[in-house]
Amino acid sequence: MRQSRFPVEEIVRIIAGSKLSRSSIAGTNRKYWSTEASLSRWRAKYKGFGTSEARRLQVLEEEKRRLKKMVADKELIIQTLN
């Protein structure tokens, strides 16, 4: 999966700022050069999160991705040995 060009802390700030200023989705997208789909996805994923909670979620997702890759590699080794 492609890494976001925005750090998690900034995504949380963008979402919080768009809620506080009541700015339109289009205005927020223009300000941060993002798309409506990105903003909607971020709102769904980080809704109600603080910066530290969002960072923790990202760390857990990275660990999950790493562990899945390890399992896939081990499975490949097992299949080649059989």
2 is a domain residue? no
Contacts made by residues 21-27, CB under 8 angstroms, sequence distance 24+:
none
Give how many domains the chain has, as a whole number.
1
Tell me: the pLDDT tens digits for 35-69?
Answer: 777 777 777 887 777 777 877 888 898 999 999 99
Classify residue 59: in a domain, yes or no: yes
Examine residue 1 and state whether it is found in any structural domain, yes or no: no
Compute the distance between CA of residue 15 and CA of residue 48 in angstroms, rounded to an integer.
10
Confidence band for 17, pLDDT divided at 50, 70 and 90: low
Backbone torsion region of residue 51, taken as left when φ is above 0, otherwise alpha when ψ lies between -120 and 50, otherwise beta? alpha
Confidence of residue 29 (pLDDT cuts 50, 70, 90): low
43: domain range? 8-81
Residue 52 counted as domain residue = yes
pLDDT, residue 40, reads 76
